Structure 1
Amino acid sequence: MRPTLKQIGARVLAYRKRIGLTQEELAEASNLHRSYVSQLERGLVNPSFQSLARIATALGVSVCDLLCPTDVEEAES
């Protein structure tokens, strides 16, 4: 099952908050603009693989962590 943009954004937001970064700090660490991170977290942009890889690296997770549903998400659907 392919994740929706809102699901990807929600995962980025959850991982970002889990490690205590602001949108600005995540944007800087991933070499992206803060407004792009904001739009991504709200599911308003379709991120490239390169952008997801940068964000995943900054968050200390894999790209799959951002794309693949967790056990909790699977149980809710």
Structure 2
Amino acid sequence: MDIFTSAAAKALGERLRERRESLELSQEDVAHLAAMHVSNYGKIERGLANPSLHTLLRIASVIEVDPGVLIAGLSGEMVTSRPHKLTAGELIRARQQI
């Protein structure tokens, strides 16, 4: 995986592609119905672009799937370039110990 992709983006793209293909729709069909350019939609399916919340909701609506299904199981651990692994709870506990 190169520096411009993440496991989360790849997983989302695979889920979108599987759903689109199960509906026998083309990328052009989905992009048109979601009011976006087909090249942008294609990048999302390939895991090369991260959709905004609104874009993800539009795509989910078009392919008739709950957006939660598309992101289920994805986590911050699957995102490239996260500078540290602390959670908010760990940070709060560390501050309290000082």
For normalisation by structure 1, the TM-score amounts to 0.83
Q: Structure 2: which 5+ runs fail to align?
A: 1-6, 74-98
Task: From the CA coordinates, give the structure whose radius of gyration is larger.
Answer: 2
Map of 2:92 onto structure 1: none
User: Partners of 1:66 and 1:31 in 2: how far apart?
Assistant: 19
Map of 1:16 onto structure 2: 20
Map of 2:79 onto structure 1: none
Larger fraction in helix: 1
What is the number of residues matched between the two proteins? 67
Identity across the alignment (%): 34
User: Partners of 1:67 and 1:30 in 2: how far apart?
Assistant: 18
Deviations, residues 7-52 of structure 1 (Å, cap 9, x unaligned): 0000000000000100000001111110011100000001111000
Residue identity in the other structure for 2:14: A
User: Partners of 2:46 and 2:54 in 1: how far apart?
Assistant: 19
For normalisation by structure 2, the TM-score amounts to 0.66
SS at match of 1:4: helix
